[in-house]
Amino acid sequence: MKSIGLETPRNGIAHSLEEAKQVQATLGFPCIIRPSFTMGGSGGGIAYNRSEFEEICRRGLDLSPTNELLIDESLIGWKEFEMEVVRDKNDNCIIVCSIENLDPMGVHTGDSITVAPALTLTDKEYQRMRNASIEVLRAIGVETGGSNVQFGVSPEDGRMVVIEMNPRVSRSSALASKATGFPIARIATKLAIGYTLPELANEITGGVTPASFEPAIDYIVTKIPRFTFEKFPEADNTLTTQMKSVGEVMAMGRTFQESIQKALRGLEVGINGFSPLVDLADEGALALIQHELRVPGAERILYVADAFRFGLSLSEVGDLSSIDPWFLAHIEFLIEQEQQLSGKALADLDFDGFFELKRQGFSDSRMAELLQVVEADVRAARLELGIKPVYKRVDSCAAEFASPTAYLYSTYETVCEAAPTSREKIMVLGGGPNRIGQGIEFDYCCVHAALAMREGGYETIMINCNPETVSTDFDTSDRLYFEPLTLEDVLAIVEIEQPTGVIIQFGGQTPLKLARDLEAAGVKIIGTSPDAIDKAEDRERFQQMLHQLGLKQPANRIVRTVEEGLVGAAEIGYPLVVRPSYVLGGRAMEIVHKASELEYYLKNAVVVTPDSPVLLDRFLDLAIEVDVDAVCDGEQVVIGAIMQHIEQAGVHSGDSACSLPPYSLSDELITEIEVQVVAMAMALEVVGLMNVQLAVQAGQIFVLEVNPRASRTVPFVSKCIGRSLAKIAARCMAGTSLKDQGFTQQIKPDYFHVKEAVFPFGKFPGVDPILGPEMKSTGEVMGIGRTFGEAYGKAQLGADDEIPAQGRVFLSVRDPDKDQLVGIAKDLLDLGFKLCATRGTASVIADAGLTVEVMNKVMEGRPNITDAIKNNEINFIINTTEGQQAIKDSFAIRRNALQHNVCYTTTMAGGRASIEALRHRAEMQVYCLQEMHAALLDRPGVNTMKLGS
């Protein structure tokens, strides 16, 4: 960087704690530590003092595959920018997009609110940055492709430093592509194979202009990250240089005000704009606000709004947060608008006043709160005044050229560019921002639904606000509305497009939540009716249905008060699974073992009220959990697949590994499961997809849950059976029967397929990596094998959790697991492992005449198990536990195992599966998915439609 005249933050590289200390001495505190070659800045942090410094360095050295740390001078509070640059082999360089972080330096850019284009630079500053970013690409030697260059700018004196450059497409390039309509990855790929920018067409203008230009945007894009700290209560929720968000929402508006307010309501975290968080009358309010502005957390932007409500001045908020005054001024203005509005009555608003508020991005529902009326009243008053959004096109050229591409966003102006057609249309509602429990699996389903409908001759319309998805590519559907998935925004699009049918069952809970209101507004929802969806989700109606069908359910109660809960629990017995109704991803779901735990849960974890009841289910200990995906056209049900979970019931289905086909269920059981699933699908009058979760305990089948919608496992099943369930289901919804589609019987693959969950525990120091009823995984992998063992082993390998072939196994298991213990111990010894165990566990093993060493628990003095883990003396850990105290006591084992990359499992089933994998270790082979699918379709009785369709 020096050779091209650019400054970088003062920094140093260290390969040991000693070296790190020497570097730190030259930089002072605070300083920023980043381990080399970890994704998302994993393991990094900001140190303000020596002890923090040492802790972060130790963790970073462990996590970095090259044991290397980059230690930088702190630029906390500086303005942060990113330039998305594309270069071709002839040295033609273009800036696709500039991005400005609203959150100043110190917060990972993935965790920052960002806007595009950069908004607070003068042209001179911007051009300097543009020149610098191109020089960086040349100096680094990026011959072709997209890169991202990050800059810090001092708000004091304008000093500009290069922070980082990524010579590859990144999270930001995905965002930049959606923000501008310029598909960076696609263009970069073509450049890599030898094309130059002027040779490539800008697709969004229909090719009338070349790719060698810089997109001009006549709107403002805001991205807000979505966090899931509620899933990891022990995690430190301060935002640092280590990325912690799990998803993001993007919104477009003609002003920054409109853009950020749309993004806030698109987040789906229960806010509809700058909703207040702080009770301003509380005596600690000011201190809380000051703290939240100074120490960035997930909701800082809302505290900024509260600071203005409290009466802090712009400069006070600026001093505390270091956010640029330009952004703060807009937020301050919006809060003033809110305060004026809250003194008014709805009838006081005339056309001009109402229109102005809509231009500023206020949602109907936020206005309703401020005016103390219901949202429907605001909508009615708005429509009465004739105020409706218009739609503008994202065309990469600010309307300089006419664009045939219908990539649209709403705003409040006069000219509408939507130009809807009169074709038959199907609209698909997407899943909104990724979060734990609702991720890309649902986007897969939405995309496949859109593809199937396009193949079926319909015009397809997608609504979504997640820039990380394929559904928001402008060519996935015929028309894309990049809009928040709220009732107001969806209804406005329905009104302008008048679709023949709307599909809501593929986007997860996000569109399902709108089902009733959309139907009430006269929107034609195709597929399973909202009433049937309600029947499956409403416990009482569902129970009635199961009763009529003669199916079993774990004993359960719906309780509306603490007392009712304790009485109900005593009737059905402990342990219990407890959860609030209407949730996805097992939010706030827990297993309680005794009355005191239940009481605590009902009073503290969730607040039980008559309006928000809590469900108690008898927990089926040691039961096998089974997931079934099926598709139904109203006449016939075809099972997509039956999947057997590896982990026992009680571990959330999204966190459990599962095997397709089942690896230990009898044929009779499988047949019985099929019969039950078909009966339920018919009773619910499902048209489209249905997912059923069952538990098998002592040969008995219990129905845990039925969801008449796309499930997390639909993409996995589709990959295993070679047919896209989502496409098939979408066609059913549009009226094509399963028979006409040639999909009339279950496809049972010859190979085993194991899906394994991937967890973010490494990113959250202090979090217990134990599995439970609340979902915590953020991704998944799949392994295929001739045997279950081979498939499971490959899945573990894919999840970066390789099972060791030899060494020392540490065992510590809870009492109910002790009867399975000897079998596992013997198998491990046969495989050549040495065993060590805690006292209780060891005595069971020793009593069976097997060799085992006793290892101290953490509480039993030194050296103990955590010392052994730290000294690399343990290669594999099987640690099962139950009850709050025991879980607490064994926390250090799991956390240390995670930190030192020791393979561990927290279930006996996981231990057995690992042994299976080791037995079949030698068989591991690579299989061709296409060949496997072709073989499946060649079977007699299976209609050979196009592969993958």
Which stretches of the chain bind another protein, using CB under 8 A?
90-92, 94-95, 123-124, 127, 130-131, 196-198, 209-210, 212-216, 397-398, 400-401
Nearer to another protein, 214 or 538 (CB): 214
Q: By CB neighbour count within 10 A (0-12 exposed, 13-18 middle, 19+ buried), where does 353 fall?
A: middle
238 HSE (CA, 13 A, CB side):
14
Nearer to another protein, 91 or 802 (CB): 91
User: How far apart are the C-alpha atoms of 544 and 550, rounded to whole Å?
Assistant: 10
Nearer to another protein, 117 or 575 (CB): 117
Residue 74 near residue 207 (C-beta atoms within 8 A): no
Alpha-carbon distances, residue 106 vs 69, 209, 251 (angstroms): 17, 40, 24
Q: Considering the complex, what minimum distance in angstroms separates the CB of residue 212 from another protein?
A: 4
Nearer to another protein, 216 or 520 (CB): 216
Q: Considering the complex, what minimum distance in angstroms separates the CB of residue 395 from another protein?
A: 13
CA 333 to chain centre: 33
Closest CA to 582 of 542, 632, 633, 618: 542
What are the residues whose beta carbons fall under 8 Å from the beta carbon of 222, sequence distance 6 or more?
113, 114, 115, 250, 251, 252, 253, 256, 259, 260, 262, 263
Q: Considering the complex, what minimum distance in angstroms separates the CB of residue 394 from another protein?
A: 15
Closest CA to 85 of 154, 6, 139: 139
Q: Considering the complex, what minimum distance in angstroms separates the CB of residue 409 from another protein?
A: 20
3-state secondary structure 546-584: HHHHCCCCCCEEEECCHHHHHHHHHHHCCCEEEEECCCC
156's tokens: 């004091």
Nearer to another protein, 94 or 526 (CB): 94
Q: Considering the complex, what minimum distance in angstroms separates the CB of residue 937 from another protein?
A: 47
Q: Considering the complex, what minimum distance in angstroms separates the CB of residue 203 from another protein?
A: 15
702's tokens: 């219990």
What are the residues whose beta carbons fall under 8 Å from the beta carbon of 19, sequence distance 6 or more?
13
Alpha-carbon distances, residue 358 vs 262, 373, 518 (angstroms): 11, 17, 22
Closest CA to 486 of 652, 612, 573, 366: 366
User: How far apart are the C-alpha atoms of 303 and 316, rounded to whole Å?
Assistant: 13
Nearer to another protein, 128 or 870 (CB): 128
User: How far apart are the C-alpha atoms of 736 and 739, rounded to whole Å?
Assistant: 8
User: How far apart are the C-alpha atoms of 7 and 792, rounded to whole Å?
Assistant: 50
Q: Considering the complex, what minimum distance in angstroms separates the CB of residue 193 from another protein?
A: 18
191's tokens: 């450049």
Which residue type is seen at 746?
A: Q
Q: Considering the complex, what minimum distance in angstroms separates the CB of residue 117 from another protein?
A: 11
User: How far apart are the C-alpha atoms of 3 and 135, rounded to whole Å?
Assistant: 10
Residue 275 near residue 252 (C-beta atoms within 8 A): no
User: How far apart are the C-alpha atoms of 454 and 464, rounded to whole Å?
Assistant: 18
Question: Terminus-to-terminus CA distance in the chain, angstroms?
Answer: 51
Q: Considering the complex, what minimum distance in angstroms separates the CB of residue 398 from another protein?
A: 8
Q: Considering the complex, what minimum distance in angstroms separates the CB of residue 88 from another protein?
A: 9
Nearer to another protein, 96 or 726 (CB): 96
Q: Considering the complex, what minimum distance in angstroms separates the CB of residue 98 from another protein?
A: 12
Nearer to another protein, 196 or 744 (CB): 196
Closest CA to 446 of 480, 475, 470, 474: 470
Nearer to another protein, 127 or 609 (CB): 127
Peptide bond into 117 cis (omega under 30): yes
What are the residues whose beta carbons fall under 8 Å from the beta carbon of 765, sequence distance 6 or more?
59, 235, 236
Q: Considering the complex, what minimum distance in angstroms separates the CB of residue 500 from another protein?
A: 38
Nearer to another protein, 90 or 596 (CB): 90
Nearer to another protein, 195 or 229 (CB): 195
Residue 214 near residue 93 (C-beta atoms within 8 A): no
Q: Considering the complex, what minimum distance in angstroms separates the CB of residue 196 from another protein?
A: 8
As beta bridge partners, residue 905 has 878
Nearer to another protein, 91 or 750 (CB): 91
Q: Considering the complex, what minimum distance in angstroms separates the CB of residue 119 from another protein?
A: 15
Q: Considering the complex, what minimum distance in angstroms separates the CB of residue 125 from another protein?
A: 11
Q: Considering the complex, what minimum distance in angstroms separates the CB of residue 97 from another protein?
A: 12
**646: helix, coil or strand?**
coil
What are the residues whose beta carbons fall under 8 Å from the beta carbon of 233, sequence distance 6 or more?
none
Peptide bond into 816 cis (omega under 30): no
The secondary structure element, H or E, covering residue 701 is strand 700-707
Nearer to another protein, 198 or 284 (CB): 198
Nearer to another protein, 127 or 581 (CB): 127
Nearer to another protein, 45 or 215 (CB): 215
Biggest distance spanned by C-alpha atoms of the chain = 87
What are the residues whose beta carbons fall under 8 Å from the beta carbon of 514, sequence distance 6 or more?
429, 485, 486, 487, 490, 504
945 HSE (CA, 13 A, CB side):
15
Sheet holding 876-879, edge to edge: 853-854, 834-837, 808-812, 876-879, 903-905
The secondary structure element, H or E, covering residue 193 is none
Nearer to another protein, 123 or 283 (CB): 123
Nearer to another protein, 398 or 935 (CB): 398
Q: Considering the complex, what minimum distance in angstroms separates the CB of residue 94 from another protein?
A: 6
User: How far apart are the C-alpha atoms of 722 and 948, rounded to whole Å?
Assistant: 5
Q: Considering the complex, what minimum distance in angstroms separates the CB of residue 133 from another protein?
A: 11
Nearer to another protein, 87 or 435 (CB): 87
